[in-house]
């Protein structure tokens, strides 16, 4: 997710925390790089310019260049600005009971799949409190014959009720569905709607009639992140004709540039509630502007990773990671633990992006296998080090490198590469610690 921008940004910032510290002389250049990256990620030009200009005026206003650590201050400031851009600290907390939830969007944007994901999410939330929601799915998509069947299949899969309207006019069908929902005393009604290839007046008219009859508490806009800036125009058209509360951006797992997500909040002034990152019902992530901003900067997203990992790791392991991260100093042992987490969580691609400094690691889906091998090799190398070397990696000089390489059956370059990776990760952890990003992270 957002790999394109994460790669660009983490390059810029790795440079800034390394040799090329931020100075008056290179400020314009760095701002230019940020702006170019945004534009290359398909953020509208005006939005990219605005963001860069705001950052610049804050850098000058807050005298960042004259501070003790201009680079770190700059990254912090950029992070905060990005976070505001993406929606500040508001997070979607859940649907009120009872609720009608109307799901809209263009054809193939992921409406039907998203309904199943949302119901699954709402059930998960309830089950944490020992409860269960009574949920009804229904569709008024009479344009594509298989559409309603698809929803029925998904209803079975996520174990909720499904109702097929007798009426075939979408507006009448919506009324019929609504009566069934009320009579059944359901808590949530998810209403799936038809999508077209393009925004058209009839479609919007129909939705607006359904809207005025059902008066849904939630109108959700499903947007395909692959469609780039066009999706912003789609959202605007829906907003003007029907209105909506918030959006769900789908297909963030694909090769999307991600610019539309970045600009969505700024252009529409509405929240992104969720992000879809896969085809399965569990592939839904809540949208946290703060975490995304951190992730975009190449600082990973340990919080989300930890939440995902919760039930997969022993408490002792979690506490160990917590201590290391909170101290702001990691050793090669901690690094090795991080790698363990990656392998335990399964798919390398899905995990790597959450780890500080590793998001830039070259692991495209095709290379996942190679990445897995790399991790195995890293672990073999680390295991042929002495404990002292693992705890104080600074002492690993050329002759130690040679011994380690020999022990692990790898080349000296491989040992070198591992140490580079580790140092990068350690640098990010140090930075995160300085920014206070580990506070409350591990309290579930």
Ligand X SMILES: Nc1nc2c(ncn2[C@@H]2O[C@H](COP(=O)(O)OP(=O)(O)OP(=O)(O)O)[C@@H](O)[C@H]2O)c(=O)[nH]1
Using CB under 6 A as the criterion, which residues of the chain lie in contact with ligand X when the complex forms? 105, 107-113, 141, 144, 147, 195, 250-251, 253-254, 276-279, 283
Q: What is the DSSP letter of 143?
A: S
Nearest approach, Cβ of 300 to ligand X (angstroms)? 21
Return d(Cα 107, Cα 428) in angstroms, integer: 41
Report the residue number, 152 or 326, with the smaller CB distance to ligand X.
152
Report the residue number, 280 or 376, with the smaller CB distance to ligand X.
280
Q: Is 124:132 a contact under the CB 8 Å cutoff?
A: no
Query: 59-68: b or e for each residue (b if 16 or more CB lie within 10 Å)?
Result: beeeebeeee
Report the residue number, 116 or 305, with the smaller CB distance to Mg ion.
116
The partner in contact with residue 98, picked from ligand X, Mg ion, none with C-beta cut-offs of 5 to 8 angstroms by kind, is none
Q: Peptide bond before 98: cis, by omega within 30 degrees of 0?
A: yes
Nearest approach, Cβ of 234 to Mg ion (angstroms)? 16
Cβ-based burial of 200 (10 A; exposed 0-12, middle 13-18, buried ≥19): exposed
Report the residue number, 38 or 210, with the smaller CB distance to Mg ion.
210
Report the residue number, 37 or 304, with the smaller CB distance to ligand X.
304
Nearest to 290 by CA among 86, 426, 132, 122: 86
Residue 15 phi, psi dihedral angles, 5° rounding = -60, -45
The partner in contact with residue 300, picked from Mg ion, ligand X, none with C-beta cut-offs of 5 to 8 angstroms by kind, is none
Nearest approach, Cβ of 101 to Mg ion (angstroms)? 15
Residue 271 phi, psi dihedral angles, 5° rounding = -90, 155
Return d(Cα 348, Cα 346) in angstroms, integer: 6
The partner in contact with residue 171, picked from ligand X, Mg ion, none with C-beta cut-offs of 5 to 8 angstroms by kind, is none
Report the residue number, 141 or 290, with the smaller CB distance to ligand X.
141
Nearest approach, Cβ of 428 to ligand X (angstroms)? 28
Segment contacting Mg ion (CB under 5 A): 6-14, 142-150, 253-261, 436-444? 142-150
Nearest approach, Cβ of 251 to Mg ion (angstroms)? 14
Segment contacting Mg ion (CB under 5 A): 29-37, 143-151, 241-249, 321-329? 143-151
List the structure tokens of 124: 């998960």
The partner in contact with residue 277, picked from Mg ion, ligand X, none with C-beta cut-offs of 5 to 8 angstroms by kind, is ligand X
Q: What SS3 state is found at 103? A: strand
Report the residue number, 111 or 265, with the smaller CB distance to Mg ion.
111
Q: What is the DSSP letter of 339?
A: H
Nearest approach, Cβ of 287 to ligand X (angstroms)? 13
Please give the radius of gyration of the chain, using alpha carbons only, rounded to the nearest integer.
24
- Candidate residues 17, 109, 112, 304; the one interacting with Mg ion per rule CB under 5 A: 112
- Run of H or E including 272: strand 271-276
- Catalog residues that contact Mg ion under the rule CB under 5 A: 111-112, 147
């Amino acid at each position: 997710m957002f790999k394109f921008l994460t790669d660009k940004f983490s390059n810029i910032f790795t440079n800034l925390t390394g040799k090329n510290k931020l100075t008056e002389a290179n400020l314009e250049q760095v701002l230019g790089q940020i702006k170019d990256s945004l534009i290359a990620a398909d953020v509208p030009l005006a939005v990219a310019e605005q963001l860069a200009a705001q950052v610049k005026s804050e850098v000058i206003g807050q005298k960042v260049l004259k501070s003790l650590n201009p680079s770190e201050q700059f990254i912090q400031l950029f992070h905060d600005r990005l976070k505001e851009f993406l929606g500040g600290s508001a997070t979607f907390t859940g649907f009120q009971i009872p609720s009608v939830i109307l799901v809209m969007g263009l054809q193939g944007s992921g409406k039907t799949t998203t309904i199943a994901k949302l119901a699954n999410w709402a059930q998960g939330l309830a089950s944490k409190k020992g409860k269960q929601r009574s949920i009804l799915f229904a569709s008024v998509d009479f344009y594509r014959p298989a559409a309603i069947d698809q929803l029925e299949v998904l209803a079975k899969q996520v174990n909720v009720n499904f109702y097929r309207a007798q009426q075939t006019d979408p507006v009448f069908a919506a009324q019929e569905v609504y009566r069934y929902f009320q009579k059944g005393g359901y808590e949530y009604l998810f209403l799936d709607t038809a999508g077209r290839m393009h925004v058209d007046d009839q479609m919007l008219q129909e939705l607006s009639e359904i809207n005025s009859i059902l008066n849904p508490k939630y109108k959700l806009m499903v947007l395909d992140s692959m469609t780039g800036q066009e999706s912003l125009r789609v959202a605007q058209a829906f907003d003007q004709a029907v209105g909506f509360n918030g959006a769900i951006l789908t297909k963030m797992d694909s090769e999307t540039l991600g610019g539309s997500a970045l600009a969505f909040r700024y252009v529409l002034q509405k929240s992104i509630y969720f992000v879809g990152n896969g085809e399965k019902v569990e592939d839904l992530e809540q949208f946290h502007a703060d975490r995304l901003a951190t992730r975009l900067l190449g600082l990973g997203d340990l919080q989300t990773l930890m939440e995902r990992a919760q039930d997969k790791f022993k408490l002792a392991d979690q506490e160990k990671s917590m201590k290391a991260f909170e101290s702001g100093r990691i050793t090669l042992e901690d690094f090795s633990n991080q790698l363990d987490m990656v392998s335990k969580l399964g798919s390398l691609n899905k995990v790597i992006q959450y780890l500080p400094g590793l998001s830039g690691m070259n692991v495209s889906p095709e290379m996942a296998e190679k990445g897995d091998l790399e991790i195995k090799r890293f672990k073999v190398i680390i295991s042929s080090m002495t404990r002292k070397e693992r705890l104080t990696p600074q002492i690993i000089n050329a002759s130690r490198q040679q011994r380690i390489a020999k022990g692990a059956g790898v080349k000296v370059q491989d040992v070198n590469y591992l140490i580079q990776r580790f140092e990068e990760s350690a640098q990010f952890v140090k930075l995160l610690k300085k920014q206070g990003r580990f506070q409350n992270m591990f309290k579930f």
